[in-house]
C-alpha cells in the first residue's frame, strides 16, 4: 500500500503501475487536491477539488494542474475473501466489474459532488495509516476498514455522484462475470441483509433458479447456502463485537436470530469461544498494545 503526491509544474505527470502479481484485489484511487485535467488514453476530462477516480490500475495517466500538489494517488491491496471485504464492492455491478476486469485497458469510475468531504477525510485517515512506520498485526485490518468506509460513502446515492460521461466502465455483464465478481456479489448481498435471507430470496434477487444458485454457492465457496450464510453471520457478529458496544442480544437480533441462545451456540462452534469471551479477548489485546509493559 502506498500514497504518492503528484505536482504538475506545467509538466505532464504519469502514474506508472508495477505489475501486480498478488492474489489480492489491487485497487487505486486518485483524489484531486486542486482542479486539474486528466489525460487517460484518448480521453481528457476535468476534475474539481476533492473529486475521486477509482481504477484497478492507472497506467500512463497524465495530470495537468496549476496549483500544487495536484493529486494524491493511492494503491491499496485488499485481501479476498475477508470479513470486511463483504462491504468493499457493495451491491454495485460497476464496481464488481471494475475490480475484476481482466484486460489491460485503463477502466475507471469518476465520482463527483463530494462536497461534504467525508471521502476526503477517509483518505486522510488512510494516508496516516499507510505512512505509519510500524505496520503491526492491525495494519491490514485498519487499512481495509477505512477503504471499506470510503467505498460505502462513494456508493451512497452513487447515481448522483458518478460522472457517467467521463468514466470508462468495464463492459462485463455481472450475471456472466468472473467467479470473483459472482462470489463478491453473493457475499455482499448476504452481508447487506445481515445473513437474514432465504435461498429463494437471494435467487430472486440475482434472477437465478433456486437449485442453480445452490449449486453455484457450492462451486464458488465449497459450502452450501446454509453454511455460507452462517459464515457471513459469524463474520458480521465478530465485527460488531470488536467495533461496537452492541449487547449480545442486540447483535443476535440484528443478525435475524429469534433466540440469542441459538446465536451463542453457533458463535461458539465457529470461534471456539463465547461472544462475551471474544469481545473481552479483543479488548484485552487492544489494551495491551496501547500500554505495553516495560521490558
The pLDDT tens digits of the residues spanning 137-184 come to 788 788 888 888 888 888 787 767 877 656 765 543 446 655 655 665
The predicted pLDDT at position 4 comes to 78
The predicted pLDDT at position 177 comes to 58
Is the confidence at residue 10, as pLDDT, over 60? no
As a three-state string, the secondary structure of the chain is CEEEEECCCCCCEEECCCCCCCCCEEEEEEEECCCEEEEECCEEEEECCCCEEEECCCCCEEEEECCCCCEEEEEEEECCCCHHHHCCCCCCHHHHHHHHCCCCCCCEEEECCCCCCHHHHHHHHHHHHHCCCCCCCCHHHHHHHHHHHHHHHHHCCHHHCECCCCCECCCCCHHHCCHHHHHHHHHHHHHHCCCCCCHHHHHHHHCCCHHHHHHHHHHHHCCCHHHHHHHHHHHHHHHHHHHCCCCHHHHHHHCCCCCHHHHHHHHHHHHCCCHHHHHHHHHHHHHHHHCCCCC
The predicted pLDDT at position 250 comes to 93
Query: pLDDT: is 255 or 102 the higher one?
Result: 255
Structural domains of the chain sorted by starting position, each given as residue range(s) with its CATH number in brackets? 2-160 (2.60.120), 193-286 (1.10.10.60)
Is the confidence at residue 239, as pLDDT, over 80? no
Q: Looking at the DSSP assignment, which residues form a beta bridge with residue 61? A: 15, 40
pLDDT tier, 292 (very low <50, low <70, confident <90, very high otherwise):
low
The predicted pLDDT at position 259 comes to 93
Mean pLDDT of the chain: 77
The pLDDT tens digits of the residues spanning 99-146 come to 656 655 667 788 988 877 899 999 999 999 888 877 777 887 888 888
Query: pLDDT: is 128 or 186 the higher one?
Result: 128
The pLDDT tens digits of the residues spanning 25-83 come to 778 888 999 888 787 766 667 788 899 998 887 777 788 877 788 888 888 877 654 44
The rounded distance, in Å, linking the Cα atoms of 63 and 278 is 48
The predicted pLDDT at position 97 comes to 60
- The torsion region of residue 136 among left (phi > 0), alpha (psi -120 to 50) and beta comes to beta
- Closest among 231, 229, 234 to 199, alpha carbons compared: 229
The rounded distance, in Å, linking the Cα atoms of 249 and 237 is 11
- Closest among 87, 91, 98 to 178, alpha carbons compared: 98
pLDDT tier, 225 (very low <50, low <70, confident <90, very high otherwise):
very high
The rounded distance, in Å, linking the Cα atoms of 62 and 53 is 13
**Cβ count within 10 A of residue 185:** 21
- Cut 0.75: pTM above it: no
How large a percentage of the chain has pLDDT more than 90? 21
Neighbour-count burial of 171, counting CB atoms closer than 10 A to its CB (0-12 exposed, 13-18 middle, 19+ buried): exposed
Query: pLDDT: is 2 or 43 the higher one?
Result: 2
Amino acid at each position: 500500500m502506498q500514497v504518492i503526491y503528484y505536482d504538475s509544474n506545467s509538466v505532464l505527470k504519469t502514474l506508472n503501475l508495477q505489475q501486480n502479481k498478488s492474489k489480492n484485489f489491487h485497487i487505486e484511487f486518485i483524489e484531486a487536491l486542486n482542479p486539474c485535467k486528466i489525460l487517460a488514453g484518448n480521453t481528457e476530462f476535468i476534475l474539481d477539488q476533492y473529486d475521486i477516480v477509482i481504477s484497478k490500475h492507472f497506467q500512463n495517466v497524465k495530470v495537468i494542474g496549476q496549483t500544487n500538489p495536484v493529486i494524491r494517488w493511492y494503491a491499496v491491496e485488499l485481501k479476498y475473501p475477508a470479513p470486511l471485504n463483504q462491504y468493499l464492492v457493495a451491491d454495485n455491478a460497476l464496481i464488481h466489474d471494475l475490480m475484476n476486469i481482466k484486460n489491460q485497458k485503463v477502466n475507471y469510475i469518476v465520482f463527483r459532488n463530494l462536497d461534504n468531504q467525508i471521502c476526503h477525510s477517509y483518505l486522510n485517515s488512510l494516508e496516516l495509516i499507510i505512512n505509519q512506520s510500524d505496520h503491526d498485526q492491525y495494519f491490514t485490518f485498519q487499512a481495509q476498514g477505512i477503504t471499506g468506509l470510503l467505498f460505502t460513502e462513494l456508493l451512497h446515492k452513487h447515481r448522483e455522484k458518478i460522472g457517467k460521461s467521463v468514466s470508462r466502465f468495464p463492459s462485463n455483464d455481472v450475471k456472466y462475470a468472473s467467479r470473483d465478481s459472482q462470489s463478491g456479489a453473493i457475499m455482499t448481498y448476504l452481508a447487506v441483509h445481515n445473513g437474514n435471507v432465504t435461498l429463494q430470496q437471494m435467487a430472486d434477487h440475482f434472477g437465478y433458479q433456486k437449485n442453480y444458485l445452490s449449486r453455484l454457492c457450492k462451486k464458488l465457496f465449497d459450502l452450501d447456502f446454509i453454511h455460507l450464510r452462517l459464515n457471513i453471520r459469524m463474520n458480521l457478529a465478530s465485527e460488531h463485537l470488536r467495533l461496537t458496544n452492541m449487547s449480545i442480544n442486540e447483535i443476535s437480533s440484528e443478525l435475524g436470530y429469534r433466540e440469542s441462545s441459538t446465536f451463542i451456540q453457533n458463535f461458539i462452534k465457529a470461534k471456539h469461544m463465547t461472544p462475551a469471551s471474544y469481545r473481552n479477548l479483543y479488548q484485552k489485546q487492544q489494551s495491551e498494545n496501547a500500554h505495553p509493559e516495560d521490558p
